[in-house]
Amino acid sequence: MTTSSRSIVVTGASTGIGRAAVFALLEQGFRVFAGVRDPAAAARLADAAPAGSGDRLQTLMLDVTNASQLAAAAGSVERAVGESGLWGLLNNAGITVNGPLEHADLDGLRRQLEVNVVGQVAVTQAFIPLLRRARGRIVNIGSVAGFMAMPGLGPYAMSKHAMEAFSDSLRRELRPWGIEVSLLRPGPIVTDIWKKGVSDAEALQRDLSSQALADYGPLLGALYRLGKQAERHASPPEVVTRAVVHAFTASSPKTRYLMGTSSGVRKWLARLPDRWLDALITRTLRL
């Protein structure tokens, strides 16, 4: 099969890594089904697609937590690919919910896990039958937060730790059918998530009680400063899309890809004894 006859589904394709991945895969000659949550995003994606790729890009209305949308999307893809099956699935959709766990909004925490974990499982379940036909590949977007959890970022880190386990179990379960599963672990990447993170941090400080601010104000301030610093040194989305392309085209894709500014350093730090790392993080945040 040539890349032009191979199809890949990308979730969370409206912005950031998902959008960049759609364009990179189109440039490689793949047919791409891009999952978005509103028609305006679909129109923007189609308008910005690389020249000559219009007939290979199809948008899907797909909120990964919406069962009826997921069923409709899976049906559309199956009708399009037929017995050839689906070559790839990029599980990229995700949100961030942060703050000290003592004061975590439980509805927000449920939403974090529903989108970043349960939604990924639901999408994967829906497309495995098509992936099995093509002996295809699954690529999951994790994070350096999946192996190094910072204070104040617990809900997001919990979801990315779960993606580590999900990817490992899934890879071993699907091995008999030759379906490869890769996990991408990017560090800070230049996307709109940083602007949203800053606004969320400001909203969190407004919403917390006076006692919570007294207890965790220094931590929130330190994370705000750290986030602004990370935004200035974040890597471009292309460092992730290169790994995406490799995972879908290499004869033997990696099970894990590490990329982006500081990701290697964090991986090394994560090997330190827990107490040493705790002390280092506390000192770095000046708490």
**What is the set of active-site residues?**
156
Question: How many Cβ atoms from other residues are within 10 Å of residue 79's Cβ?
Answer: 8
What count of Cα atoms within 13 Å lies in the side-chain half-sphere of residue 122? 20
For residue 182, which phi and psi values (nearest 5 degrees)? -120, 150
Residue owning tokens 């977007």: 141
Q: Which of 48, 66, 65 is nearest to 57 (CA)?
A: 48
Provide the H-helix boundaries in the chain: 16-27, 39-48, 67-81, 106-113, 119-134, 154-174, 193-207, 210-232, 238-249, 263-269, 274-284
CA-CA distance, 207 to 37, in Å (whole number)?
Answer: 28
Q: Which of 132, 241, 113, 264 is nearest to 187 (CA)?
A: 264
Residue owning tokens 């305006």: 40
Please check whether residue 208 is in contact with residue 216, taking contact to mean a CB–CB distance below 8 angstroms. yes
Q: Which residues pair with 15 in a beta bridge?
A: none
What count of Cα atoms within 13 Å lies in the side-chain half-sphere of residue 73? 31
CA-CA distance, 244 to 22, in Å (whole number)?
Answer: 10
CA-CA distance, 204 to 229, in Å (whole number)?
Answer: 19
Residue owning tokens 């089904």: 33
